[in-house]
Amino acid sequence: MTRDEVFARVRDHLAAELAVDAASIHEHTRFKEDLNADSLHLVELVVELEDSYGIRIPDDEAAKLDTVGKVADFVAVHVPQGAS
């Protein structure tokens, strides 16, 4: 899975979950400030990513993932080869 594919999936998930236009979500879109996501939304996103990609996102790492681009970077690096 490429980083662009990861970004698109994260963007689409957030758009559906937060009822926002996917076109308004970019690399530097911040979860709390730009999307008004609360801590529950962020926990749900982490769980969704872990389940979808077969990865583990430690709490200390999750706290650093404050933009959509950072999430895409993290997942793209940590997703097992051949996963979709």
The DSSP-derived string for 23-49 is GG--TT-BHHHHH---HHHHHHHHHHH
**What pLDDT score does 42 carry?**
92
Q: What is the average per-residue pLDDT within 56-66?
A: 95
pLDDT at 84: 59
Q: Which residues are catalytic?
A: 38
Provide the mean pLDDT of the chain: 93
Residue 43: pLDDT over 80? yes
Contacts of 32 (CB under 8 A, 6+ apart): 38, 66
Indicate the pLDDT class of residue 81, thresholds 50, 70 and 90.
Answer: confident
Where residue 83 falls among pLDDT bands split at 50, 70, 90?
A: low
The pLDDT value given to residue 80: 80
Distance CA 23, CA 83 (A): 26
Q: Domains for the chain: give ranges and CATH numbers.
A: 3-78 (1.10.1200.10)
